[in-house]
Amino acid sequence: MRDLEAKGKVMRKFCCWLIGMILGAGAAAGGAQQPSHHWAIVLHGGAGVIERATMDPKTEAAYRASLAQATEAGAKVLDQGGSSLDAIEAAIHILEDDPLFNAGRGAVFTAEGKNELDAAIMDGLNLKAGAVAGVTRTRHPISLARAVMEKSPHVMLMGPGTDAFAAQSGLEQVDPSFFFTERRWQSLVRQLKKEGRPIPERPAGAPAPPVAPLAEIEAPNAHKFGTVGVVALDRKGNIAAGTSTGGTQGKRWGRVGDSPIIGAGTYASNQSCAVSATGAGEYFIRLTVAREVCALVQYKGITLQQAADQVIHKELEGLHGDGGLIAITPDGQLAWSFNTPGMYRARQAEGGRLQIGIYNDEP
Ligand code: ASP
C-alpha cells in the first residue's frame, strides 16, 4: 500500500515536471518577446592630414566634444528603441550644424565660391536609398536624402530640383549664405591663389571680412576632408548608413563625389554590412568602396575589419587614393579603417563606453 502511494507521488511529480516543461517550451517558442539586438553606432567626421603637431588643444577638444555630442544623440535614439535611420539622422544633424565639419554649415566652397552639398542614406532592411547632389538651400541635406528615399519614386536627385523637392517636403530652407564660414572661405582663397586660379567675389550675404586675419586653423598644405558619416545597428537588428558632405574644396563644373553615390561612399544591406566613407571621392567611386567592403563580408566570409582593411590598405592604396571608412554588421561587428594620418571618429555599443579617436596612433 505504502509502496503504491510512493509510486503515485513520484508519478504526480513527473507529470507536473512534464507539464511544466511543455508549457515552458511553448512560451519560449510562442515568442511573445521580440528578438532584441544590442544597438551600436559608429561615426566619422572626415579623414586626412590631421596631425598632433599641427592641431592646437582647443580645436582638438572642440572636435572631440562635437563627436561625443553627435554619438550621444544617435545612441539615445537607439537606446529608446528608435530605428538606425532615425539615429543616423539625429547624429548627422548635429554634425551638419557644426562649422567644424565639411557638411551643412561649414561646407567647403566650390571654385565659384558656392557651397554645393551632397548626401545619401540607405536602409539595410530593404535596400531603399535616397541621395542628393548640389543642394544649396536645404539646411539638413541628410534629411533631404531621406525624403527622396521615403517620399519620392527616385533614388537620386541633383541640382536646383533637390531644393525645390525639399521645400515641397517641408524641410527647412535657408539662404545659401547660411553655409558660409570665414575659415572655409579663407581656405578656398589660399588654395586658388596658390594654384593661380581666379578668386570669386565674396558671396552675397556673407558677413563682412574680419579686420584681423584668422589664425590658420589648417596648415597651408593640409589635405583634409571633413565629410561626416554614420552607420548604426538598432534593437531590431537593422543596419543603415548615411553620409553628408560639401565635397572637395575648389571643385568645378558640378563635380559630385562618392558620398551620394550608393555603393561608393554609402551602402547598407542587412545581408552584409553598412558603410560610410570619406576621402578623395574620385577613387572611392571607381572602387565602389562601400559595396566592395560589404561584398567581401558577404561572399568571402571574412570579418568586417579584414574587409575594411583590405579595401582601404590594398585596393585604395593600390590606386594611390586617400581616405577611410566606418562600418557595422547586423551581428554587431564595428570597424574603421583609414590610410591618412587621422580620421575624426567615434563609436559606441550598447553597454560599452564611448570611444573617440582622431590620430592614427589611437585604437
Ligand atoms: N568623399 C568626399 C568627396 O569626395 C570628400 C570627403 O570625404 O570629405 O566629395
Residues 28 and 90 in one domain: no
Residues 21 and 158 in one domain: no
pLDDT string in tens for the chain (363-residue length): 445 455 555 455 554 444 444 444 443 443 344 558 999 999 999 998 888 888 889 999 999 999 999 999 999 999 999 999 999 999 999 999 999 999 999 999 999 999 999 999 999 999 999 999 999 999 999 999 999 999 999 999 999 999 999 999 999 999 999 999 999 999 999 999 999 999 999 998 998 888 766 555 444 444 567 899 999 999 999 999 999 999 999 999 999 999 999 999 999 999 999 999 999 999 999 999 999 999 999 999 999 999 999 999 999 999 999 999 999 999 999 999 999 999 999 999 999 999 999 999 999
Residues 14 and 64 in one domain: no
Closest ligand 1 atom, CA of 284? 1
Residues 15 and 71 in one domain: no
**What pLDDT does residue 18 have?**
47
Residues 287 and 237 in one domain: yes
Nearest to 110 by CA among 144, 139, 133: 133
pTM of structure: 0.89
Nearest to 123 by CA among 34, 237, 35, 259: 237
Residues 183 and 292 in one domain: yes
45 lines ligand 1 (CB under 6 A): no
**What pLDDT does residue 213 have?**
60
Residues 6 and 62 in one domain: no
**For residue 344, what is the domain's CATH number?**
3.60.20.30
Residues 19 and 168 in one domain: no
* Domain encompassing residue 72: 40-359
Residue 324: count of CB within 10 angstroms of its CB: 28
Residues 52 and 2 in one domain: no
Query: How remote is the CA of residue 244 from the centroid of ligand 1, in Å?
Result: 9
> How many domains is the chain built from?
2
Query: How remote is the CA of residue 134 from the centroid of ligand 1, in Å?
Result: 13
Residues 19 and 100 in one domain: no
DSSP string, 210-240: PSSPPP-SS-TT--B---EEEEEE-TTS-EE
Does residue 84 contact residue 124 with C-beta atoms inside 8 Å? yes
Residues 257 and 108 in one domain: yes
Residues 24 and 86 in one domain: no
82 lines ligand 1 (CB under 6 A): no
